[in-house]
Structure formats: structure tokens, C-alpha cells
């Protein structure tokens, strides 16, 4: 048993908007928080970590990544910065299908090594829960291969890894569209279920990918097999898939740049979590202002994620995402802190983490700052000093803060 002390223990509110700050001791037994106390009893004989004024908060939950892939799309990135659109790049042979060929060429060992390195970076930035999607092979055997690598790599890493099947990420050019969808629902999904290779099923529903009826066909089969579902929704154009997926019980609808009020109302009614991806919006030169206004008017909490991928969001740091959310889109801390913790956990169907409360998992991070207002202000700097997974420190580095 251990205890962690801080004058600034930050815990998001149950509502998903706002947070409480208290001074005290977090008592940890095993992997769980046993209690949060203003002072320790004299009988306590465990080790005490005293972080003084440094902030202690829940570890980051990263609910949307594409972290298993081969190659890069650096040249495409610079094309976009010079004005080329996502659709133009895709039509020119770039985009998802470009990464597909590089991923197919990579060996299992190469992909596992790359995924391990990326999970290490997430960990150093304070994440102990990371969702990883397949979707960069787009064949039955290849997608199974990616999911196995995700499962095997996550099984021994300090980060809790959740796998998502995203075989419907793009339509492979070497396959008939309808035949590929039939293979997904008739062969791939049942095999993934039988072998327990994925926790979720996702579909990219948009003008460059799958239409609403195709997405719903895949989701309906996934639900029949017992999968939880998530959806790439309303990113490049409005399709209405967010509300339709919500009616099927989707855990989350992600992107939502082009979302409408009716979509959000239906999502709220069915408990589907809106997940915003600020780096993608920023790098696609889009805007979140309208979406954020609708969420505020409806009073709806949301999650946030990096959307780490080799194309539209080569951003692997949660703190860079936070910097963008604050400085580019004006998202307040009252929204951001829950969005990367408790709401991000709910976007994965997890209720056992994301708060500093008795009974929750003791997945905690110590920051090098004593005030959350340093977030965004310390642009480009990770404030993480230490990462606790239960009673164990799984990452720490020498204090290098220049402010306190």
C-alpha cells in the first residue's frame, strides 16, 4: 500500500464538465484507489510520495488512434500545408490507401516494434489507456494480422491497449466494393469475435469511404455478434451517420466537424459520446467553432483524442492536442480536463478510471506544474513528471520545469 500527497489533486466531475481540486492523500492498494483523505492516520505504514504543490490528476485516456501502420506520409503533409485538400490528396493516390501498401509490406516484427515505440511515447505523455485501430491493410488476413499484433503488443505493455477493427476504413481499389463489405460481415467479423481480437468495431462513413447504409450494415452485424461500436462521423461532409449509429448504441461518434444539432440531440438521448479530434481539425484547416457552440448550447460533455495517424494527424502527444484545443479553438480547461480523462474513458465504455475517487483504478499522473493554467501556455511541452499504475511508478523523469 502507498499514498500520494499533493496540495492540488484534480478530479473531473461526474457530469463530464468541470473538476474539483483538493489537498490531501490518495491511498492506493494494488491497482485501485482505496481512499482519498485530508490526512493519513498514524497507523499508516506504507510508502508516501509527496508531490507538494505539483498537480496530481487521472492518467490520460486516449480513445482514438491509428497507431499501427508502416511508412509515413510526410510529403503528403507538406502538400496539405500548401493547400491540397484531403479529398484531392486521396484522389491523387495518397491518403489511407498509400499507408495501406506500406503497412502490407512491413513484417510483423517491424509493426510490433513501431507500435511498442508509439505506446512508449503515449506513456511518457501520461496515457495509461490507449485505443488502437486496425484499418491499414484492408484484406481479411491482413486486418486479422494487425489485430493480433495489437493484442500481443498490448498484452505486456504498461499501457492498457484496446483494439478496434476498422476494416471499413477505405474501400480497397483491388476489390469489388460490395464483395468486400460482404466479406467483412460474413467472414471477418465472425472470426474476430471467435478469436477475441477486437473490443470495438468502427467504420469510416464519409464521401471518400463508406455510405450510411453500408456503415449500418456492418454495425448491425457487429452488434449481433456482441461488439461495441464506434464511428468516424461527419468529418468531411454531413451524412447523419452519427445519429443513426447512436440509435444502434454506439459508444462514441468521432470527428463531428460537420455535425448538426439533431445529430447531437439523438446522441445525447442514447448516451453516445462525442469525441473531438482537435489536431486533425487544425491540420485539415477546418474549424470546430460551430460544433463547440452546439455542444455548449445542448450542455453536452465530450471526449477528445489525438487521432494519431500518419496522414491527417501525425500528433502523438496529448499535450500538443491540448495546446491546439486551447490556442486554436478556445476550449476551456473545464472542458479539456474531463475530455482527456473521464469522458475519454466513457468513449471506450470504461467507468473504472478517469477520476480520483475511492474504488477507481489508481491510474494517476503527477505534473510539473502547480496550476492547470500552464496547459496551453507551456506550448509544446509535456508537463508529466511521473506516471503511477497502481502502486508502481511506470514512468518518471527529472524535474525540468522552468516556472516552479
Q: What is the mean pLDDT of residues 356-366?
A: 99
pLDDT of residue 107: 98
66 and 149 together in one domain: yes
What whole-number distance in Å separates Cα of residue 60 and Cα of residue 297? 27
205 and 327 together in one domain: yes
Q: Is 404 inside any structural domain?
A: no
Backbone angles phi, psi at 20, to 5 degrees: -105, 150
Q: Are 207 and 170 in contact (CB under 8 A)?
A: no
Q: Is 361 inside any structural domain?
A: yes
Q: What is the mean pLDDT of residues 64-74?
A: 96
Q: What is the mean pLDDT of residues 11-30?
A: 98
8 and 87 together in one domain: no
pLDDT of residue 401: 60
Q: What is the mean pLDDT of residues 121-136?
A: 98
Question: Of all residues in the chain, what percent carry a pLDDT higher than 90?
Answer: 88
Looking at the predicted structure, is the pLDDT value of residue 403 above 80?
no
Query: In terms of pLDDT, which residue wins out, 157 or 79?
Result: 157
Cell of 78: 507538406
20 and 66 together in one domain: no
Backbone angles phi, psi at 289, to 5 degrees: -55, -45
pLDDT of residue 86: 72
Q: Are 364 and 2 in contact (CB under 8 A)?
A: no
Q: Are 245 and 217 in contact (CB under 8 A)?
A: no
127 and 87 together in one domain: yes
Which of 142, 213, 139 is closest to 172 using CA atoms? Answer: 139
Which of 272, 271, 308, 269 is closest to 256 using CA atoms? Answer: 272
What whole-number distance in Å separates Cα of residue 304 and Cα of residue 268? 16
Pairing of strands 55-58, 2-12: parallel
341 and 277 together in one domain: yes
Looking at the predicted structure, is the pLDDT value of residue 7 above 80?
yes
What whole-number distance in Å separates Cα of residue 313 and Cα of residue 206? 17
Q: Are 324 and 282 in contact (CB under 8 A)?
A: yes
Q: Is 179 inside any structural domain?
A: yes
Q: Give strand pairing partners of 62.
A: 130
pLDDT of residue 390: 99
Q: What is the CATH number of the domain that holds 30?
A: 2.30.40.10
What one-character-per-residue DSSP string does 329-345 give?
T---HHHHHHHTTHHHH
Q: Is 402 inside any structural domain?
A: no
Domain residues for the domain of 32 are 2-58+355-396
Looking at the predicted structure, is the pLDDT value of residue 191 above 80?
yes
Q: What is the mean pLDDT of residues 147-158?
A: 98
Q: What is the CATH number of the domain that holds 254?
A: 3.20.20.140
Q: What is the mean pLDDT of residues 33-47?
A: 97
pLDDT of residue 93: 74
3-state secondary structure of 140: helix
Looking at the chain, the number of H-run helices and the number of E-run strands are: 15, 16
Looking at the predicted structure, is the pLDDT value of residue 400 above 80?
no
Distances (CA, A) of 383 to 21, 272, 338: 18, 31, 17
- Given CA atoms 46, 47, 48, 54 in this order, what sign does their dihedral have? negative
Q: Are 232 and 202 in contact (CB under 8 A)?
A: yes
Contacting residues for 350 by C-beta, under 8 A, at least 6 apart: 61, 129
24 and 115 together in one domain: no
Q: Is 174 inside any structural domain?
A: yes
Average pLDDT across the chain, whole number? 96
Q: Is 142 inside any structural domain?
A: yes
pLDDT of residue 95: 79
342 and 368 together in one domain: no
What whole-number distance in Å separates Cα of residue 397 and Cα of residue 386? 7
What whole-number distance in Å separates Cα of residue 218 and Cα of residue 166? 11
Looking at the predicted structure, is the pLDDT value of residue 402 above 90?
no
254 and 364 together in one domain: no
The pTM assigned to this predicted structure is: 0.96
Q: How confident is the model at residue 91 (pLDDT cuts 50, 70, 90)?
A: confident
Q: Are 278 and 328 in contact (CB under 8 A)?
A: yes
pLDDT of residue 404: 54
227 and 361 together in one domain: no
Q: Is 403 inside any structural domain?
A: no
Q: How many domains is the chain built from?
A: 2
Looking at the predicted structure, is the pLDDT value of residue 247 above 80?
yes
Question: Of all residues in the chain, what percent carry a pLDDT higher than 70?
Answer: 99
| Cα angle, residue 212 at apex, residues 209 and 217 outer, rounded to 5° | 100
Looking at the predicted structure, is the pLDDT value of residue 182 above 80?
yes
Q: For the ranges 142-156, 179-193, 225-239, 369-383, which has the lowest average pLDDT? A: 369-383
52 and 71 together in one domain: no
378 and 362 together in one domain: yes
What whole-number distance in Å separates Cα of residue 387 and Cα of residue 301? 26
Q: Give strand pairing partners of 12.
A: 19
Residue linked to cell 491497482: 31
pLDDT digits (tens, 9 = 90+) for 309-360: 998 899 999 999 999 999 999 999 999 999 999 999 999 999 999 999 999 9
Q: How confident is the model at residue 236 (pLDDT cuts 50, 70, 90)?
A: very high
Q: Identify the helix (H) or strand (E) that includes residue 62.
A: strand 60-62
Q: Is 265 inside any structural domain?
A: yes
Amino acid at each position: 500500500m502507498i499514498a500520494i500527497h499533493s496540495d492540488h489533486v484534480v478530479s473531473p466531475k461526474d457530469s463530464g464538465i468541470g473538476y474539483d481540486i483538493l489537498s490531501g492523500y490518495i491511498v492506493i492498494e494494488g491497482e485501485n484507489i482505496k481512499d482519498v483523505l485530508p490526512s493519513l492516520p498514524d497507523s499508516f505504514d506504507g510508502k508516501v510520495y509527496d508531490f507538494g504543490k505539483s498537480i496530481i490528476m487521472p492518467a490520460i485516456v486516449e480513445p482514438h488512434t491509428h497507431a499501427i501502420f508502416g511508412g509515413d506520409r510526410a510529403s503528403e503533409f507538406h502538400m496539405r500545408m500548401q493547400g491540397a485538400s484531403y479529398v484531392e490528396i486521396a484522389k491523387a493516390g495518397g491518403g489511407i490507401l498509400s499507408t495501406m501498401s506500406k503497412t502490407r509490406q512491413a513484417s510483423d516484427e517491424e509493426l510490433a516494434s513501431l507500435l511498442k515505440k508509439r505506446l512508449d511515447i503515449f506513456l511518457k505523455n501520461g496515457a495509461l489507456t490507449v485505443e488502437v485501430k486496425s484499418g491499414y491493410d484492408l484484406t481479411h488476413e491482413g486486418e486479422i494480422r494487425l489485430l493480433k499484433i495489437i493484442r500481443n503488443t498490448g498484452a505486456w505493455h504498461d499501457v492498457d491497449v484496446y483494439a478496434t477493427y476498422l476494416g471499413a476504413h477505405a474501400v480497397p481499389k483491388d476489390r469489388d466494393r460490395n464483395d468486400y463489405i460482404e466479406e467483412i460481415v460474413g467472414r471477418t467479423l465472425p472470426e474476430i469475435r471467435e478469436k477475441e481480437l477486437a473490443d470495438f468495431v468502427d467504420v469510416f462513413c464519409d464521401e471518400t469511404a463508406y455510405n450510411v447504409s453500408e456503415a449500418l450494415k456492418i454495425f448491425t452485424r457487429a452488434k449481433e455478434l456482441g461488439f461495441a461500436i464506434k464511428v468516424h462521423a461527419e468529418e468531411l461532409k454531413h451524412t447523419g451517420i452519427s445519429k443513426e449509429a447512436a440509435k444502434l448504441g454506439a459508444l462514441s461518434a468521432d470527428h463531428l466537424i460537420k455535425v448538426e444539432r439533431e445529430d447531437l440531440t439523438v446522441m445525447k438521448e442514447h448516451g453516445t459520446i462525442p469525441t473531438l479530434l482537435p489536431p486533425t481539425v487544425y491540420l485539415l484547416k477546418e474549424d470546430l467553432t460551430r460544433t463547440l457552440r452546439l455542444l455548449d448550447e445542448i450542455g453536452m460533455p465530450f471526449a477528445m483524442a489525438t487521432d494519431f495517424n500518419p496522414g491527417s494527424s501525425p500528433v502523438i502527444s496529448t499535450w500538443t492536442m491540448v495546446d491546439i484545443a486551447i490556442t486554436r479553438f478556445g476550449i476551456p480547461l473545464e472542458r479539456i480536463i474531463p475530455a482527456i480523462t473521464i469522458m475519454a474513458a466513457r468513449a471506450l465504455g470504461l467507468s473504472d478510471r478517469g477520476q480520483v475517487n475511492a474504488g477507481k483504478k489508481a491510474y494517476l499522473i503527477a505534473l510539473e506544474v502547480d496550476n492547470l493554467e500552464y496547459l496551453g501556455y507551456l506550448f509544446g511541452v509535456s508537463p508529466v513528471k511521473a506516471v503511477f499504475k497502481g502502486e508502481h511508478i511506470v514512468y518518471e523523469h527529472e524535474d525540468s520545469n522552468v516556472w516552479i
